[in-house]
Chains A and B, each alone.
Chain A
C-alpha cells in the first residue's frame, strides 16, 4: 500500500461473486444492512448474501426461478428475505434454519400503482414506495406471519432515496426539482417541508432534470445533508442542503469543483470526497473549515485536490495488479463504500492522516483539519513534535497553533460542564457546536512535546531559551482562552527557568501572577532558596495569598528560627495553644538567644494566666 496517498482503500476488500460471471447474474447492495446479494438466475436461482460489515459467513439460498429479480433485501434482523420481481408486489420469505420458507406477498394498496421499491425501516417495519405514494406496514411474526398496514401517504413519486441513519426518505415529485422529505418514525410517517432545489434556470438549458444520480443524501458532521451534484456542464459546483432544527432543508454550502464530468461521492471522517471519473482524481472538501461567504452561504474550495486513489487487487498466484477505481463500473455508496461489481470487490475508504499532514502546509489549517477527524490524536501530536522538536516552525506559528488547539480545548471543557445536565437526546438534530473529535489537553502536550523537548535539550543556550519561550507561549495561549493551567506545566516552567539560571525571570513571572499560586508551587519555590534566595520571599507571599496556609507559614518561619515573628503570626491567627508551646520553646532554646527565650516563655505565661483566670471565674460563678 502506498503510504503517501491521502486516501486509501482498505487492504482487505470484501470479495463477492461478481456480476461479470454470467449475464444472468445480478448484484445488489443494500446500504441499510450493508449486504451484497448476488442473484444467479437460472432454473434454480441461487442467492448469495455477503455481509460487508460483519464478518459473517455467506448465506446461500436456492429458490425456484419465478422471473427476474429487480430488488432484493434482507430484513434488519436477517430473518426475512424480501425481493421484488414485479411492479405490483413484494415477496417475503422467512428464513428458518438457513432455508427459505414459502413466500407470502405484500401488494401495493393504491390502485394501479407501480411499485418503485421497498425499504426495511425497522426490525419489523417495511415501507413500500410506489408512483402513487408510500405505505408503511408492520410485519408480525407472532403467532403467524401477518402484515398489518399502519400508515400511508398519497402523492406522486418519481423516484426516492433513503437515509437509514436519520430515517429520512426523500421523494422526487417531479423533474423540476421539487422534493418531499418524509421522516419515517416507528409506525408513523412525518411529512416535512417540501424542498425545492433550484436548477440552473438562468442558463435556460433544456431537458435539465434531477435524477437519483444527482442527489446524495448523507450525514456529514452528524447532520443530514443533501448534496446536489451538477445537473449541467455549466454549473461546476455541488450545492449542499442541510437539515436544520426546524426540520427543513436549507441551502448551506457550496463546493466548488475543480473538474467537470461524472462524479462519485463518498464521505470519510466527515469529509466530502469527490471522485472525478474524467480526470481520474479526487478532491476533498471539509465543510467545517473556514471559507469565504457569499450571501451567507459558504463557498468551499477543496482542501485536498488532485488526489489519486490506487488500489491493488491480489491476483491468483501472488501478483498484484492495479485497477482503475475511476472506471465507470465502480459505484460509490455512503458513506465510504466503493464497489466494483465487475471484479466483485467492496472497499472501504479511509483517510491516511499521516499523508495529509505532509500535504497541508499551513500548520493552523492542518491542526484544525486534524482536530475534526476521529483518531487523529497521535498524528496531531506528531505534527506538533515535528514543529517544535525539529524546530521546523517559528514561535509565531507555534503560538497560533497553540491557540487553535486551545480554542477547541476550551469548548470541550465548557461542553463538559454543560453536559452534566443531560440534554434531551434528539438523534437527528445534532446542530452541535462541538464537532471536534480530538482534544489535545495539557497533559498530552506535556507528555508528548515538553518532556521530550526538555529531554533532548542540547546544552546550547539558545535551545534552553527556546524551551522556555514555547512554554510561555503555551501558557499564554491557555490563559488567553481562560483555561486553568495545571500544576505540572508550572513545575516544568520553573525547572526550565532554573536550569537556564533565569531566576530574575522566574521572579518576574511570580510577581505578575503568571504562575498561579498553589501550595505545591510554594514548596517548590522554597526548595529553590539555596539557589536563589528571593525564592523564599516568593514562597511566603504565595502561601500568604492562598490564605489557607497558616500552618505552612508558621512552619517556614520556624524553620528559619524566626520564633518571635511566627509567634506574632500565630497569635494573629489564633494558633497559639498548649500544643505549640513545646515546639516554640524548643526552637527558642536552640537559638541560644536569651531574649527570644524569655519572650517566648512570657507570651505563654501570660496566655496561661488569662486562660486560668477565665476558668477560675467560671468555676466561682
Chain B
C-alpha cells in the first residue's frame, strides 16, 4: 500500500535551561516548523520529557529511543547530556478505496515507519553539525543559549529545506562511502599526487580525493571521512551539477584569471565559512578531531576541481588563504590533477568493460561496516554525478522495509547470519552478515524452492565478492 510519510516536527531541547513552569520556552533550542504555536511547542516538548522520565524508571542506562502512537512515530536521540533531538513522523495510507465510514478521516499506517532510519538520520545530522559547527554543550557554555539557537537554526533549517526526511529509506541508514574501483598502479599515482601536495604546501594538513561521487583516497580517519564525504555529496556535488560555471564571473575568478585547467570550488554552503579578501569565495570551515578524538581542530576546506576529480585540502586555520596561495595551488594542481583524473577515467572504464554484467534479476546492496564501503547493483556507473538517493535503487517500499527489518535484526546477531524472506508479492528478500559485512539481496523472481533462491544468491556473491572472505 502506498504510504505518504510526513515530518510533523523536529525539535531540539535541553530541559536544564528551564527553571520553572513559566519559562518552558527557554528549553527549546530549535523547533520545526518554526511557526508552530508557542504553547504547542512547549506542550510537545513537555510530553516527550515526560516519556523520557517515565522510561528512565525501567532502564536508567539506556535512554528511550522511540515512541509509537497510532498516528505518529517519535524518534529520540540523546546527542549530548541533557540535549535531546526529537523527530515526529506520521504515515498515511493512500489507499484507493477510502474507508466508507469516514471519508475524510485518513487511515494511518504508522507500522510502516521504521525507527532505525530516522535514528540514523538524526545521528548523522547531529554529527555533521558537530563537524561544521561544534559541540552543543560547548557552544552554549562558551557563548550563550541564544548563540546555540542561532547556529542550530542555521544548520537544521537548511538541512530540513534541502532534504526530504520522509523519503529516507533503507539506503540512508548506512551513510556508506562509494570507493572508486581502481587498480593499485593508478591508486598509487593518486596517493603520490596527494602526498606531493601535502609535502609541497605545508599549509595543507590533510587531503582527500574524489572522482565524481566516489572516493579515491582519504587522509582523514574513517569517521571524519564518512562525514566529509557525505557533506560533499550533499552540498558540493549538486551545486556543481547545477551550475558547472559556479565560480565564473565572481570575484574569485577575477583574482585568479589563470584558472584554465581546473578551478576552485567556493561559495559552498556551510554554517561557518571563511572568506578571503573580503568575502569572496567562501570556503567551509570544518572541525576535525585529532588522533585521540578528544580535541577538535578547525580547518578550512579548500576544494579544487579538474576534469572529473575533486581534491579536498584541509588547510590549517593559522595559515591564511591568500590570492597568492590560490594562484600557486592552481598552477601546481591544474594539469597534474587533470592528467591523474584522465588516468582514473580510463582505468574505471576498463574495469567496467571487463566486468560483463549479465542481467540478473537480483539487486543487491553491500555494506562493509569496517571501511564503510557501500556498493549496489544499480549505482555502478561512475561517469555521471549521482547521489545516493534511494529512488535509483528502485525497490518497492515493501522490500525496503523488509530490508530495514533484516538489517536491524542482523545487528543483534553475531558473527554470521543469513535470512531469506518471501514477500507478499512472491519476491525474495535475503540478508547475509558475515565477517562484518552485510549484503542485502532482492530477487524479483518467482522462485518456489528455497534451494533455487540460495543458489541464485550464492552465484551472485561469487560473481561480486570473490576477493573477500564471505562464506556461506
List chain A positions with a Cβ less than 8 A from chain B: 394-396, 399, 462, 465-466, 468-469, 472-473, 475-476, 479-480, 501-505, 507-508, 511-514, 533-534, 537-538, 540-541, 543-545, 553, 560, 562, 564-565, 568-569, 572
A534 touching B198 in the complex, CB below 8 Å, given contacts A480-B185, A512-B182: no
Could you tell me the dominant secondary structure of chain A's interface residues?
A: helix
Complex interface: chain A residues within 8 A of B467 (CB): 541, 544-545
* CB<8 Å pairs between A and B, sample of 17: A394-B199, A395-B200, A399-B196, A466-B199, A469-B195, A472-B195, A476-B189, A476-B191, A479-B184, A504-B221, A508-B218, A512-B184, A534-B370, A537-B436, A537-B469, A543-B469, A565-B471
| Partner among A465, A507, A544 whose Cβ is within 8 Å of the Cβ of B370 | A507
Report whether A469 and B219 are in contact in the complex, using a CB–CB cutoff of 8 Å.
Answer: no
Across the interface, name the chain B residue whose C-beta is closest to A544.
Answer: B469
What 1/0 mask marks residues of chain B from 168 to 191 whose CB sits below 8 Å from any chain A CB? 000000000001001111011101
Residue B217 is within 8 A (CB to CB) of chain A in the complex = yes
**Separation in Å of the B23 CB from the closest CB of chain A?**
46
Q: Please provide the chain B residues from 366 to 424 with a CB less than 8 Å away from any CB of chain A in the complex.
A: 368, 370-371, 373, 415-416
* Bound CA–CA A544/B195 (angstroms): 31
A568 touching B200 in the complex, CB below 8 Å, given contacts A469-B195, A514-B188, A537-B370: no
Complex interface: chain A residues within 8 A of B195 (CB): 395, 468-469, 472-473
Report whether B225 and A504 are in contact in the complex, using a CB–CB cutoff of 8 Å.
Answer: yes
Complex interface: chain A residues within 8 A of B291 (CB): 501
Complex interface: chain A residues within 8 A of B184 (CB): 479, 512-514
A507 touching B469 in the complex, CB below 8 Å, given contacts A476-B189, A501-B291, A514-B188: no
Residue B60 is within 8 A (CB to CB) of chain A in the complex = no
* Bound CA–CA A560/B291 (angstroms): 29
Residue B446 is within 8 A (CB to CB) of chain A in the complex = no
- How many residue pairs between the two chains, A and B, have CB atoms under 8 Å in the bound complex? 103
* Bound CA–CA A537/B371 (angstroms): 10
Report whether B415 and A562 are in contact in the complex, using a CB–CB cutoff of 8 Å.
Answer: yes
Complex interface: chain B residues within 8 A of A462 (CB): 202
* Bound CA–CA A506/B188 (angstroms): 13
Interface size class of B (residues with CB under 8 A): 35 or more
**Separation in Å of the B211 CB from the closest CB of chain A?**
13
Residue B246 is within 8 A (CB to CB) of chain A in the complex = no
Complex interface: chain B residues within 8 A of A473 (CB): 192, 195
List chain B positions with a Cβ less than 8 A from chain A: 179, 182-185, 187-189, 191-192, 195-196, 198-200, 202, 217-222, 225, 291, 368, 370-371, 373, 415-416, 434-437, 467-469, 471-472
Of A473, A505, A512, most buried by chain B (CB within 10 Å of CB) is A512
Of B188, B368, B434, B472, most buried by chain A (CB within 10 Å of CB) is B188
| Partner among A465, A512, A560 whose Cβ is within 8 Å of the Cβ of B415 | A560
Complex interface: chain A residues within 8 A of B468 (CB): 541, 544
* Bound CA–CA A504/B291 (angstroms): 12
Report whether B217 and A508 are in contact in the complex, using a CB–CB cutoff of 8 Å.
Answer: yes
**Separation in Å of the B468 CB from the closest CB of chain A?**
5
Report whether A569 and B198 are in contact in the complex, using a CB–CB cutoff of 8 Å.
Answer: no
The 10 closest A-B pairs by CB, nearest first: A534-B370, A544-B469, A469-B195, A476-B188, A395-B199, A540-B469, A512-B187, A504-B222, A513-B184, A476-B192
**Separation in Å of the A238 CB from the closest CB of chain B?**
40
Complex interface: chain B residues within 8 A of A465 (CB): 198
Complex interface: chain A residues within 8 A of B179 (CB): 508, 511
Given A396-B196, A508-B179; 5 other pairs, CB 8 A cutoff: A395-B195, A512-B187, A533-B370, A537-B469, A564-B416
* Bound CA–CA A71/B192 (angstroms): 65
Report whether B188 and A508 are in contact in the complex, using a CB–CB cutoff of 8 Å.
Answer: no
Complex interface: chain B residues within 8 A of A479 (CB): 184-185, 188
Of A504, A533, A564, most buried by chain B (CB within 10 Å of CB) is A504
Across the interface, name the chain A residue whose C-beta is closest to B471.
Answer: A569
Across the interface, name the chain B residue whose C-beta is closest to A513.
Answer: B184
Complex interface: chain B residues within 8 A of A543 (CB): 469
* Bound CA–CA A565/B414 (angstroms): 11
Report whether A472 and B191 are in contact in the complex, using a CB–CB cutoff of 8 Å.
Answer: yes
Across the interface, name the chain A residue whose C-beta is closest to B215.
Answer: A508
**Separation in Å of the A185 CB from the closest CB of chain B?**
51
Across the interface, name the chain B residue whose C-beta is closest to A399.
Answer: B192
**Separation in Å of the B223 CB from the closest CB of chain A?**
9
**Separation in Å of the B316 CB from the closest CB of chain A?**
11
* Bound CA–CA A544/B221 (angstroms): 26
| Partner among B187, B221, B373 whose Cβ is within 8 Å of the Cβ of A514 | B187
Report whether B188 and A475 are in contact in the complex, using a CB–CB cutoff of 8 Å.
Answer: yes
A562 touching B436 in the complex, CB below 8 Å, given contacts A466-B199, A508-B371, A513-B184: no
| Partner among A501, A504, A569, A572 whose Cβ is within 8 Å of the Cβ of B218 | A504
Across the interface, name the chain A residue whose C-beta is closest to B223.
Answer: A504
